[in-house]
Structure 1
Amino acid sequence: MPADEVRVKVWVVPPGPGAWTQTQTQAQAQAQAQGQSGAAGGIVSVVDSDGRVILRAPRAGGSDGDEHLAHAPDPYTAKRDTPEWWDDAKFGIFIHWGIYSVPAWNSQRHRYEPFLRWWLHNDGKSETWRYHLFFLKSLLGEYWRYHRDTYGEDFVYDDFIPDFTARKFNASQWVELFADAGARYFVFVTKHHDGYALFDTGNSTHRSSYHLGPKRDFLRELFNAARAEQPSLHRGTYYSMPEWFNPDAGPYGFGNWPGHLARNPYDESKVEPYTGRLEGKDYLEDIQLAHMRSLAMDYESEIMWCDIGGPNLTVKFAKEWYPFAEAQGRQVVMNNRCGALPQFDTPEYARFSSIQRVKWETSEGIDPYTYGYNRRTKAEDYRSVQTIVSTLVDIVSKNGNYLLNVGPTAEGEIIKPMIDRLLEVGKWLAYSGECIYGTTGASLTGDRVCYQDYSFLGAESGDVRFTTTAESFCMISLVRPENGLLVIERAVPVLPGDEISLLGGGEEGKRLEWWIKDGKLVVRVAEEVLDRVEWAWAFKVSFLVR
């Protein structure tokens, strides 16, 4: 069949940790006896119903992965695939919320609002010479001046904590919105680089919403609501591995995460407090690892979405987390920013231009410039529904997931422009989701591998994206077909007897007339049927069982 392809997963269940060495030795001996290379980790053979070998391949992960296993017999430190539920989910919601949501002021485009504390202590240091460069004065040090003029030079970052009231926060409303948006998982920022956590941090530190400010465990409230009211939503946690100005992190500091207390950006003779810090803690063991254990075991996070990396005890953590989750029958996943054992890549405000074999997830905000809430962004400047849907389709067609961020206010409110957009995306997914959830990308786009910015729609394959399952093939047009015809100018997997339908087109959108002419697929669809669909038009080819 032209351009036909089917991708399957072959699950190979390893033996227990103590049996790895023996299993590898046996596999090596068997492979050598059969004239194979004998790489540790073995060969996977696929046979047909008659017992004939139709495919032989090394275990996924390549020689590097096998070599790693040979030296690390614990399977929980081996390279792991992403869970099937994560692969199939495609669309998730990111939530950036914290002390930074109080000032909620982003000084420049493409500068993240949650970083405002870092800019405050770094952008204003060369203010004198900036006044001599008029064209730079309006761009550099803007937040340094804004904070001084709005709050005063003696108002430090931790003074925002009492105003982080969260009085409008309603966990049930949040998870209902995420579900109505068509998301299959969410990732909650439990602690950003400022070190202020939104969960019960116990005696590791009291720098958290449980001990300071609203005195509430927001992660517990959110996860409990999701479990009880939206059980199909998978629950994940973002966690910043380092902290900017935690003196306990000083011995492990690096780059823009130096540790050590911050100095007043207007008078460096003054040292700023680190409110809630408890004395005598080793940052890696008593704070970072303790927090990761709590998120994974106490709150039962399914996604460990780390940020920044740096010094870490991730391997030690993984050896505890993976068997803990597996004993409960749960599949869990960790991104590539925990410092070790990555399972998926995480470009932000960017995406790949072609299909990827390695799993990946793009994250970006409904706000086109930042993750947290920014009071300067106008309602009309938020990403449009058209842009969000097109981005989702493009990412999914390239084997990725889309993690779309909302930034609540300091009171815990997700504002109406964000809600409106999420609900419209949910309406589209309600009728087009068959071409999104549980699909894989079809290899009909170009083979270039590079990053593009968030406005890129993919010139390699025009305005149509392709996804596939074992039983169907989808052609998703990002623009409305003209003159009642969808024309695909390349070979696609469709044969006589296959049915083509426009998802969301009603009864008249089913079993559409189609034909092949000059190697092009042409599908006829009435204008009134096209009118029933918005944002993107998903045409599904249902294969005839032959």
Structure 2
Amino acid sequence: MASRYLLLAVTGAVALWAPIAGRYQPTWESLDTRPLPEWYDNAKIGLLIHWGLFSVPSFGSEQFWKDWKGGHPKYVHFMMENYPPHFKYQDFASQFKAEFFNPEEWTEVFEASGARYVILTSKHLEGYAMWPSPHSWNWNVKDVGPNKDLVGKLASAVRSQTPQIRFGVYYSLSEWFNPLYHLDREAHSQSNEFVATKVLPELYGIVTRYHPEIVFADGDELDPDWYWNSTTFLSWLFSSSPVKRTVVVNDRWGSGTFCRHGSYYTCYNPGVLQPHKWERGISLDRQSWGYRREAQVKDYLSINELISQMAETISCGGNFLINVGPSADGRIPPIMEERLRQMGAWIDINGDAVYSSRPWTYQNDTVTPGVWYTSDKDLNLTYAIVLTWPSDCQLFLGAVQPSEETKIFLLGYDPPDVESKRLKFEARPHGITVNFPDMSEVRSKWAWVLVMSGISPSLHS
């Protein structure tokens, strides 16, 4: 008879066990049958917060430690010029103080951005835990650093201030320089002491303690899923955990799982509708996921670029995950905050085309570039997200076939005369031409959304 228990951790002769219960068995065949919780598909917009010890040197990228120890000249030179000869990466921990971290202020920015979920880095590949993990001795926020439970404080602020925003955690399975992990790798993953004594206890612990509704795994690609005990953990997560009904996970649970297993996939093919729910992650800083002091204005995405990538992603059935990198003292850089607030201002006007939308028959227009479609199937509405204001205020759409019942409106266009809100249009042999109002009369600044009813996909596209 198969055991109904799984090994959580082994420390010397002491074993900790937890019962497996519930519907989903620890196999991919069973786990892949779990339906995607609807909230995730409806949310569309999320934020990823890359924060850790790499925010202290704040140079190059979040992979500072790996690149420095790997002998990358840029990082070696930076350390020689700015730190004493025997300085170690571990010495950055005492400088990570988060003295200006205000979770309520962060949450206000999240709300202003229009995001519907936020994922905080709980542990990056450097191994430093952003909560008082008892399995990261002297390498967590309680033992060395800010003496604050950063995961807990942010989770509490998000839930108390913004109930419409879901809280999640990023967790790196592997660690660059953990000796236990390297011993397992030298044994070709036939030993899993690192997983049994570190990874699994932390994963079960963080879920039980903070109830994250997204668990974003990373750092898995060198080892198979059976080494990480991924299916066993996910069986518990989906069947018995405190968040079993609402939690979603990505597709990074061991080599071979990428784009094959998970609630949603993190591979993407822009411009093409995907058969499985997916997510596109981008960073506001083109060069790094973490904070960089040397970043220049040109390194950051403009609001036009941000909205363009968001429209493309949502039209193709994806969610859009935007990364920001706070500084070591706990501040979201002003230029990143500005982008998030700009995005939120746009969503305040055009959110009908975003939240709870579904892909339309065509993802982008078949003739005019820079037009992406979404739909509301319940209301029988089609939205066209127009990235560039049309010349002469006339927009041709090759994918749209009008009818006698067609009505077209422009979100953010609110003339005093209600009848004037309906835009004029002309049916063409292979599409439709829509007449836009004067641009000065429209509230939206960066992209514009048409709301169309009584239309059908063009047969000539």
Check if 1:97 corresponds to 2:6.
no
Deviation, structure 1 residue 380: 4.3
Deviation, structure 1 residue 500: 1.2
Check if 1:284 corresponds to 2:202.
no
Instruction: Report the counterpart of residue 147 of structure 1 in structure 2.
Output: 79
Check if 1:428 corresponds to 2:346.
yes
Instruction: Report the counterpart of residue 271 of structure 2 in structure 1.
Output: 353
Instruction: Report the counterpart of residue 38 of structure 2 in structure 1.
Output: 84
User: What is the alpha-carbon distance in structure 2 between the residues aligned to residue 524 and residue 532 of structure 1?
Assistant: 17
Instruction: Report the counterpart of residue 219 of structure 2 in structure 1.
Output: 308
Secondary structure of the structure 2 residue equivalent to 1:441: coil
**Which of 451, 457, 464 is residue 371 of structure 2 equivalent to?**
464
**Which of 334, 342, 347 is residue 249 of structure 2 equivalent to?**
334
Instruction: Pick closer, same or farther for the CA change 1:235–1:70 going to 2, 3 Å.
Output: closer
Shifted more, 309-318 versus 465-474: the winner is: 309-318
Instruction: Report the counterpart of residue 542 of structure 1 in structure 2.
Output: 453
User: What is the alpha-carbon distance in structure 2 between the residues aligned to residue 71 and residue 222 of structure 1?
Assistant: 32
Deviation, structure 1 residue 358: 1.3
User: What is the alpha-carbon distance in structure 2 between the residues aligned to residue 200 and residue 511 of structure 1?
Assistant: 57
Instruction: Pick closer, same or farther for the CA change 1:71–1:195 going to 2, 3 Å.
Output: closer
Instruction: Report the counterpart of residue 324 of structure 1 in structure 2.
Output: 240
Instruction: Pick closer, same or farther for the CA change 1:213–1:147 going to 2, 3 Å.
Output: same
Deviations 1:102-138 (A, max 9, x none): 11011xxxxxx110111111134xxxxxxxxxxxxxx
Deviation, structure 1 residue 356: 1.1
**Which of 209, 223, 233 is residue 165 of structure 2 equivalent to?**
233
Instruction: Pick closer, same or farther for the CA change 1:459–1:382 going to 2, 3 Å.
Output: farther
**Which of 311, 335, 357 is residue 417 of structure 1 equivalent to?**
335
Deviations 1:47-71 (A, max 9, x none): xxxxxxxxxxxxxxxxxxxxxx999
User: What is the alpha-carbon distance in structure 2 between the residues aligned to residue 317 and residue 73 of structure 1?
Assistant: 11
Unaligned runs of 5+ in 2: 5-22, 456-461
Deviation, structure 1 residue 206: 3.6
Deviations 1:385-409 (A, max 9, x none): 1111111011111111111111100
**1:41-80 to 2 correspondence within 5 Å?**
77-80=31-34
Deviation, structure 1 residue 290: 1.0
Instruction: Report the counterpart of residue 483 of structure 1 in structure 2.
Output: 392
User: What is the alpha-carbon distance in structure 2 between the residues aligned to residue 71 and residue 295 of structure 1?
Assistant: 22
Check if 1:295 corresponds to 2:210.
no
Deviation, structure 1 residue 445: 4.2
Name the aligned partner's letter for residue 320 of structure 1.
W
Answer whether contact 1:467 1:475 (CA < 8 A) is retained.
yes
Check if 1:192 corresponds to 2:124.
yes
Instruction: Tell me the TM-score normalized by structure 1.
Output: 0.71
Unaligned runs of 5+ in 1: 1-17, 19-68, 107-112, 125-140, 260-280, 447-457
Deviation, structure 1 residue 481: 1.7
Answer whether contact 1:355 1:443 (CA < 8 A) is retained.
no
Instruction: Tell me the TM-score normalized by structure 2.
Output: 0.84
Answer whether contact 1:498 1:542 (CA < 8 A) is retained.
yes
Name the aligned partner's letter for residue 229 of structure 1.
Q
Deviation, structure 1 residue 203: 4.3
Secondary structure of the structure 2 residue equivalent to 1:114: coil
Instruction: Pick closer, same or farther for the CA change 1:254–1:431 going to 2, 3 Å.
Output: farther
Deviation, structure 1 residue 245: 0.6
**1:521-540 to 2 correspondence within 5 Å?**
521-528=432-439, 531-540=442-451
Q: RMSD over aligned Cα, in angstroms?
A: 2.8
Deviation, structure 1 residue 85: 0.8
Instruction: Report the counterpart of residue 313 of structure 2 in structure 1.
Output: 395
Identity across aligned pairs (percent)?
Answer: 28
Deviation, structure 1 residue 531: 4.1
Answer whether contact 1:114 1:372 (CA < 8 A) is retained.
yes
Answer whether contact 1:185 1:233 (CA < 8 A) is retained.
yes
Secondary structure of the structure 2 residue equivalent to 1:540: strand
User: What is the alpha-carbon distance in structure 2 between the residues aligned to residue 427 and residue 254 of structure 1?
Assistant: 52
User: What is the alpha-carbon distance in structure 2 between the residues aligned to residue 346 and residue 75 of structure 1?
Assistant: 20
Check if 1:209 corresponds to 2:141.
yes
Instruction: Pick closer, same or farther for the CA change 1:252–1:542 going to 2, 3 Å.
Output: farther
User: What is the alpha-carbon distance in structure 2 between the residues aligned to residue 410 and residue 459 of structure 1?
Assistant: 47
